């Protein structure tokens, strides 16, 4: 069915729900977007998945983070054990957690595949053992980068196969806001807009970080393709996120972005195929300074704005829960045509 017909059907349904026209605001927009994505009226949400993509970043050797690289593997273990922020919020918001080794620079333990009793599922797909330091050479070889995109495609296929209607993408990787900023600078975003101070960095350190990125963008070019920017600067989780997004095209699945690093991955996908924004939602607006201008470039309005900057998909699952509410009102509310409730002649609301 074409999008126009779906839109007109879902709009007729929303106006028949027992409420003043338009009074559920953005929940109604989410219902409409889900209907178009799925080609179904009303839309449905059977299962929701959170893919937590983990990887390491060569640029960490330049001292861009206060955390040592080892924390990536430690947090991986913490998420597998169910104790991280994303575990708590996924349980609350109804998401199944998949913990993906997209390119951690460590030999991870032989985790069980998980999935039973709400336990996180382990997905080993290490494309690299961390990236190279992009300030001295490209982060990925072309093949490594394509492998990340391919791994993302496999995750998208898994989501489709298992009946997930909403996929939330989260990132975990020490140093990844720096890689994300470099990716965006590589695509022409103003470094002043996308290089973040974080909470602990002083003016001199901020200048140094910005200079590192600006010099690297000049040194790694030219960039004949959108992929060449990704290969030069992305991290494993950022590139894999781009692959998931590209892989979900035309599959009827909505994709929730998390914060700054995942949104940089979305920009890679969007530069490769601008139509991906049709099924992307910005789960939240992060406190990371560069997030807002990048969402604006993508034309995405964040669902919530809770001043968070944890990553892991924590903002994506909260936003995904609220987007799902759109499907639920469309599918579950009673209708004027069935219930004994008088409809207003106009659109004024007063109940």
Number of residues that bind its own copies (CB under 8 A): 76
Binding positions for its own copies, 31-50, rule CB under 8 A? none
Whether the CB-CB separation of 182 and 217 falls below 8 Å is answered with yes
Beta carbon nearer to its own copies, 76 or 189: 76
Q: Which stretch binds its own copies (CB under 8 A): 25-33, 123-131, 214-222, 269-277?
A: 25-33
How far apart are the two ends of the chain, measured CA to CA in Å? 36
Q: Which stretch binds its own copies (CB under 8 A): 36-44, 127-135, 290-298, 314-322?
A: 314-322
Verify binding: residue 20, its own copies, rule CB under 8 A: yes
Q: How far is the CB of 199 from its own copies (least distance, A)?
A: 4
Q: How far is residue 348's CA from residue 200's CA, in Å, rounded to a whole number? A: 50
Verify binding: residue 26, its own copies, rule CB under 8 A: yes
Contacts of 183 (CB under 8 A, 6+ apart): 229, 230, 233, 234, 238, 264, 267, 268
Q: How far is the CB of 36 from its own copies (least distance, A)?
A: 19
Beta carbon nearer to its own copies, 139 or 248: 139
Verify binding: residue 181, its own copies, rule CB under 8 A: no
Distance of CA 282 to the CA centre of its chain: 7
Whether the CB-CB separation of 177 and 212 falls below 8 Å is answered with no
Which has the closest alpha carbon to 93: 33, 48, 35, 126? 48
Which has the closest alpha carbon to 30: 269, 313, 264, 280? 280
Binding positions for its own copies, 216-235, rule CB under 8 A? none
Between the CA of residue 323 and those of 89, 93, 271, what are the distances in Å?
A: 15, 11, 25
Q: How far is the CB of 60 from its own copies (least distance, A)?
A: 8
Question: Which one among 1, 3, 8, 22 touches its own copies, defined by CB under 8 A?
Answer: 22
Cis peptide before 245, with omega less than 30 degrees from 0?
no
Q: How far is the CB of 311 from its own copies (least distance, A)?
A: 6
Verify binding: residue 64, its own copies, rule CB under 8 A: yes
- For the annotated catalytic residues, the residue numbers are 312
**Dihedral sign, Cα of residue 265, residue 269, residue 271, residue 272:** positive
Question: Which one among 6, 24, 242, 256 touches its own copies, defined by CB under 8 A?
Answer: 24
Verify binding: residue 325, its own copies, rule CB under 8 A: yes
Residues 237-276, mask of contacts with its own copies (x by CB under 8 A):
----------------------------------------
**Dihedral sign, Cα of residue 15, residue 18, residue 24, residue 28:** negative
Q: Which stretch binds its own copies (CB under 8 A): 18-26, 98-106, 108-116, 250-258?
A: 18-26
Residues 188-217, mask of contacts with its own copies (x by CB under 8 A):
----------xxxx----------------
Whether the CB-CB separation of 254 and 281 falls below 8 Å is answered with yes
State whether residue 257 is helix, strand or coil: strand
Beta carbon nearer to its own copies, 5 or 349: 349
Beta carbon nearer to its own copies, 200 or 224: 200
Binding positions for its own copies, 133-172, rule CB under 8 A? 172
Contacts of 188 (CB under 8 A, 6+ apart): none
Verify binding: residue 78, its own copies, rule CB under 8 A: yes
H/E stretch holding 169:
strand 164-172
Verify binding: residue 88, its own copies, rule CB under 8 A: yes
Helix, strand, coil distribution of the chain in percent, nearest 5 = 50, 10, 40
Count other Cβ atoms within 10 Å, centred on residue 289: 18
Beta carbon nearer to its own copies, 156 or 308: 308
Verify binding: residue 311, its own copies, rule CB under 8 A: yes
Verify binding: residue 107, its own copies, rule CB under 8 A: no
The DSSP 8-state label assigned to residue 124 in this structure reads E
């Amino acid at each position: 069915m074409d999008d126009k017909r779906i839109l007109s059907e879902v709009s007729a349904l929303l106006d028949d729900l027992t409420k003043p026209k338009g009074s559920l605001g953005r929940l109604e927009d989410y219902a409409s977007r889900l209907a178009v994505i799925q080609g179904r009226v009303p839309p449905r949400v059977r299962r929701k998945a959170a893919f937590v993509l983990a990887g390491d970043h060569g640029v960490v050797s330049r001292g861009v983070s206060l955390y040592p690289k080892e924390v990536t593997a430690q947090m991986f273990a913490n998420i597998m054990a169910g104790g991280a922020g994303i575990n708590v919020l996924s349980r609350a918001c109804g998401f199944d957690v998949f913990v993906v080794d997209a390119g951690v620079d460590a030999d991870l333990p032989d985790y069980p595949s998980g999935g039973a009793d709400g336990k996180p599922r382990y997905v080993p797909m290490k494309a690299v053992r961390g990236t190279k330091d992009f300030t001295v050479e490209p982060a990925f070889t072309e093949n490594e980068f394509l492998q990340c995109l391919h791994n993302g495609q496999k995750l998208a296929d898994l989501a489709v196969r298992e009946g997930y209607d909403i996929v939330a993408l989260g990132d975990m990787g020490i140093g990844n806001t720096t890689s994300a900023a470099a990716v965006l600078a590589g695509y022409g975003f103003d470094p002043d807009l996308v290089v973040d101070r974080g909470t602990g960095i002083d003016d001199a350190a901020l200048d140094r970080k910005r200079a590192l990125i600006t010099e690297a963008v000049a040194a790694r070019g030219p960039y004949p393709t959108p992929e060449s920017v990704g290969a030069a600067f992305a991290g494993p989780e950022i590139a894999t996120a781009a692959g998931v997004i590209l892989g979900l095209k035309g599959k009827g699945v909505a994709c929730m972005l998390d914060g700054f690093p995942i949104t940089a991955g979305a920009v890679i996908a969007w530069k490769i195929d601008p139509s991906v924004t049709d099924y992307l939602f910005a789960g939240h607006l992060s406190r990371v300074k560069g997030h807002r201008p990048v969402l604006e470039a993508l034309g995405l309005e964040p669902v919530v704005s809770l001043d968070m900057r944890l990553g892991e998909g924590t903002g994506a699952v909260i936003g995904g829960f609220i987007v799902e509410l759109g499907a639920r009102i469309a599918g579950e509310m009673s209708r004027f045509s069935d219930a004994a409730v008088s409809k207003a002649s106009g659109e004024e609301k007063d109940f």
